[in-house]
Structure formats: C-alpha cells, structure tokens
C-alpha cells in the first residue's frame, strides 16, 4: 500500500521516519518537527503505519515535501502483500531474517499479544524489502513513539543494517514493559524524549545500557502563537474558560467539570469551552448534563488550528485536569499548555509527570493534585479574580515559553543529534550555529 507525495526532492542522505499515523490533528508537534528538519536541510521519507483518521489537516502539513509511503495496516486484508515481501526478504537476507525472528520471539508477551509482534515483524519486512533495500540514500531510521513504531523501526534496522533511533513520548513509555523498552534502548543509536521527567525514568530502567537519552522538548512556533492583543489581566464574569484535550481518561475531564460545578455553586458565572474528541465522549457529555452544566459548558469537537487560536484569544483561563490513567498512561507536557502561555492565557493543571517543568507554581502557572476538583476550583477562582496573580502568571508564562519552548531551538538540537550520531548527515554545527535567540542548545 503506497500513497506518496513527490519523490525525494533533494540530494544527499535521507532520514526515514516511521510513524503511527500521519497526519494527525493531535500530533502537530510531529509535523512541525518534520517541517523544521526539512528547513534545516534534511531530506525526509515518511512511513506511517496508519492512514489519517481526520478529513482535514493543519496548514503546516501542506508545506512538508517529504515522500509518504503508508505501510500495510490490516493483517486480515493485506496478509498476502506482507507475506510476499517477507518471503522475498528472507531469500535475500536469510541471516538478518533469522536475527529479526529471534528478536521477535524475545519480545512476545501476554500484555501486548503475539499478533501485534507478528504484524510489526511483517511490516518491518515489507518496509525493508519494498523501500529500504531499493533506496541507498536512506541513512537513518527513526521511530516516533516507543511502542509499535519503534518495534517496526528496530526490526527494519535488523533487516537492513541501517542505524536507528527513536523518540519516546508519554503513553508509549509508561504503558510499555520496562524490559521491552530496555531492549529497544540497547539497540538504538540514541533515544529522544520530550521531558526531563521522561529522561530520568528511561535512564532509571536502562540498567547499564549505554545508549544516550536526550531531552528535546516539543516546543511551539512562537510566531504562530503570538497574541497582539493586550493581555487580559483584569477580567469580569462571565469568565471564558477553555480546555483543549482528547476525551480520554488521562486528561482528567471529569475533575474539570466537577470543579466547574463547584464554581457555579459558589455563584461564579463562566462559559467553558471544550475542544477535542475521543472514546470517552458520551461519558463526558452525560457528566455535563448530570452536573447541570449544560447551559454553562459547550463542546466543539475537533477544530482547526485557526479556530483553536481564536478560542485562545477569547479566553481568560486555560485548564487541564491531567491524571494517571489506570493503565499507566499519562501526559508529558501537553503542547496546549505551552500554547496557552504563549497566547497570554494563564493556565492551571495538575502536578502529574512533567507539567511542573512548565507550570512553576505561582510563577508561570498553577498546579494542583490530580483528581481533586476542590483544589482545581480554588486555583481557577484565584487566577480569575486576583489581578496581581494574573499579571505575574501571564508575564512568567510568556517568559518561560520564549526561553525554553521555542521549537526552532529544539529542532536545531535534534538535527545536531542526528549529525553527531550519523556522519552521513554532515559535519557538526559550530558553537555560534548552535544558538537560537541567544540561547545555546548544547
């Protein structure tokens, strides 16, 4: 299965990304990363494991020039296609195929299921036989997310002999078996993760694995998330409160709505807007009704980047109720929190995972304990009614985003890591070139 844009348009080595899906509305950080790497001179080839679910995409995706080839996704419908490629590959590279089979057997587990491992092996064989062996320019493989994309990437590396690296994010780290993560880290040339909290966790489970783990924040495009309007320091009811989140357990939406019910009971008038969709949609909408918040809250579903920006401009407060899901899934630093601060909208969330790396209490934002609507309601009330606190949070939020979450800075760092670990991508940058807005990135 192959849906492609233009073939490689640049000479030189190619960096191949294996992705869960592409493009995805909720993963603008990946499309922004690809676009910025192209702007830094990298030729890219994308291998998504799934077709896009949404019918539209953000404008940044339209600027990406990389070739896109979708891997066969359905075992039942595309088994013959996958099997044929793997038979050819086994004939061409029998030793590598045996090694990949040994690795696949070692990775079998009750938790993830043998069928998933078989699928990843076959996808890796298809990727190698149909693309990697026929394109000598591909010099590095990189998996985005440590679970299935990196499983495919690792086995494709074994098949092809190409080096690989991967980026670990949140769910893929904390819902994966530490032993499987460790084996992936051991074989990778280097590992990227998007928070310092994640970096420390990965290093804690490495147990002697020498593969370096680097923190590379997602960051945002500061030019896109700039609000020319005067910050809303003194605000009046009804307050405009915004949440942008997938409707899933780890986002803690029930905590938000229970906190809003407490605000309403205290006589505080507000208008809450939720942007996003997900598996828990019906459960959340029923909760809104049961709390008698249907006149105070609205759900807009999935919206484009421009529509989200407009909602930020109209908002007095941004709130996320992040928690740790029953299966261990959790956020790192949700990009929408960074975007909110950049837009001059003060934010409140929880102390889960790496969120305090962005929201420093009473300096750049406020964090409360997860799952506690009383704390969350109190924090929201304070931010809405205390002008001095709002002024401090707005100023501190803008400062931390400008200094620490400029995506150009972090993608320049990522590009340098690819260069340092693979000579095919050219010489290292000079110290002066490794500065963005006066900040050294190494």
Q: What is the pLDDT of residue 420?
A: 94
How far is Cα 109 from Cα 353, in angstroms, rounded to an integer? 27
- Which burial class, exposed, middle or buried, applies to 157 when counting CB atoms under 10 A from its CB (0-12, 13-18, 19+)? buried
What is the Cα–Cα distance from 170 to 145, expressed in whole angstroms? 8
pLDDT for the residue 3: 47
pLDDT tens for 230-282 read 778 889 999 999 999 999 999 999 999 999 999 999 999 999 999 999 999 99
Mean pLDDT estimate for the chain: 92
Of residues 403 and 10, more confidently modeled: 403
Q: For residue 319, what are the β-bridge partners? A: 348
Per-residue pLDDT of 297-354, as tens digits, reads 999 999 988 899 999 999 999 999 999 999 999 999 999 999 999 999 999 999 999 9
For residue 139, which of 47, 42, 41 has the smallest C-alpha distance?
42
Query: In the structure, what pLDDT confidence band is assigned to residue 105 with cuts at 50, 70 and 90?
Result: confident
Strand-strand pairing, 138-144 and 67-68: unpaired
Q: Is the pLDDT at 438 greater than 90, yes or no?
A: no
The per-residue pLDDT for 441 is 65
pLDDT bracket for residue 429 (50, 70, 90)? confident
- Of 398, 347, 385, nearest to 230 (Cα)? 398
Q: Which residues pair with 317 in a beta bridge?
A: 241
- The number of residues making up the chain comes to 442
pLDDT at residue 6, rounded to an integer: 47
Q: Would you say residue 224 has pLDDT above 70?
A: yes
pLDDT value for 5: 45
Q: What angle do CA 257, 344, 403 make, to 5 degrees?
A: 115
DSSP character string of 48-70? ESS--SSS---HHHHT---EE-P
C-alpha–C-alpha distance, residues 27 and 400, integer Å: 22
Name the strand (E) or helix (H) holding 235.
none
pLDDT, residue 109, reads 58
Nearest to 303 by CA among 260, 245, 379, 374: 245
According to the model, what pLDDT value does residue 11 have?
66
- The span from the CA of 150 to the CA of 299, in Å, is 35
The highest-confidence range among 35-44, 301-310, 430-439, by mean pLDDT, is: 35-44
Neighbours of 302 (CB within 10 A): 17
Q: How does residue 20 score in pLDDT terms, banded at 50, 70 and 90?
A: very high
Cα–Cα distances in angstroms (integers) from residue 368 to residues 274, 319, 330, 349, 377, in the given order: 20, 11, 16, 6, 10
How far is Cα 204 from Cα 184, in angstroms, rounded to an integer? 15
Residue 184 CB coordination number (10 Å): 24
Residue 171 has pLDDT above 60, yes or no: yes
Give the DSSP letter of residue 273. Answer: E
Q: Examine the pLDDT at 37 and tell me if it is beyond 80.
A: yes
| DSSP class per residue in 105-154 | HHT--TTT-HHHHHHHHHHHHHHIIIIITT-TTEEEEEEESTTHHHHHHH
What is the Cα gyration radius of the chain?
23
- pLDDT-above-70 percentage for the chain: 92
Q: In whole angstroms, give the CA distance from residue 400 to residue 358.
A: 7
Three-state DSSP at 297 gives strand
Domains defined for the chain, CATH in brackets: 14-219+408-436 (3.40.50.2000), 239-403 (3.40.50.2000)
42 has a pLDDT exceeding 80: yes
Which sign does the torsion angle of CA 142, 144, 147, 152 carry?
A: negative
């Amino acid at each position: 299965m192959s849906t492609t844009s233009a073939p490689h348009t640049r000479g030189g080595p190619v960096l191949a990304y294996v992705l869960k899906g592409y493009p995805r509305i909720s993963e603008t950080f990946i499309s922004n990363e690809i676009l910025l790497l192209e702007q830094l001179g990298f030729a890219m080839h994308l291998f998504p494991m799934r077709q896009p679910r949404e019918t539209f995409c953000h404008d940044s995706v339209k600027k990406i020039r990389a070739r896109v080839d979708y891997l066969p996704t359905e075992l039942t419908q595309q088994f013959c296609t996958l099997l044929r490629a793997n038979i050819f590959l086994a004939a061409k590279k029998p030793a590598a195929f045996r090694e990949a089979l040994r690795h696949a057997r070692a990775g079998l587990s009750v938790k993830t299921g043998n069928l998933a491992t078989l699928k990843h092996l076959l996808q890796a064989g298809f990727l190698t036989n149909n693309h990697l062996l026929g394109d000598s320019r591909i010099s590095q493989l990189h998996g985005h997310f440590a679970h299935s994309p990196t499983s495919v990437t690792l086995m494709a590396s074994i098949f092809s002999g190409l080096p690989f690296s991967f980026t670990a994010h949140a769910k893929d780290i904390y819902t994966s078996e530490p032993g499987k993560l460790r084996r992936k880290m051991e074989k990778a040339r280097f590992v990227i993760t998007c928070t310092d909290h994640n970096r420390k966790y990965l290093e804690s489970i490495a147990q002697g694995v020498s593969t370096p783990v680097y923190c590379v924040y997602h960051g945002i495009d500061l030019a896109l998330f700039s609000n020319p309007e005067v910050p809303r320091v003194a605000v009046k009811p009804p307050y405009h409160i915004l949440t942008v989140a997938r409707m899933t357990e780890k986002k803690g939406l029930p905590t938000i709505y229970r906190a809003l019910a407490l605000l309403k009971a205290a006589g505080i008038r507000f208008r809450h807007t939720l942007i996003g969709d997900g598996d828990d949609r019906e459960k959340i909408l029923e909760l809104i009704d049961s709390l008698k918040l249907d006149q105070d809250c609205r759900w807009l579903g999935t919206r484009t980047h421009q529509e989200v920006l407009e909602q930020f401009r109209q908002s007095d407060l941004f709130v996320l109720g992040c928690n740790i899901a029953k299966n261990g899934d959790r956020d790192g630093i949700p990009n929408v929190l960074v975007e909110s601060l950049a837009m001059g909208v003060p934010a409140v969330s929880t102390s889960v995972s790496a969120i305090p790396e962005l929201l420093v209490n009473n300096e750049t934002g406020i964090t409360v304990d997860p799952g506690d609507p009383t704390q969350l309601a109190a924090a929201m009330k304070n931010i809405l009614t205390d002008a001095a606190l709002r002024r401090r949070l707005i100023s501190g939020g803008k400062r931390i985003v400008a200094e620490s979450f400029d995506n150009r800075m972090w993608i320049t760092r990522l590009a340098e890591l690819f260069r340092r670990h693979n000579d095919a991508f050219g010489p290292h940058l000079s110290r002066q070139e490794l500065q963005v807005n006066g900040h050294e990135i190494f």
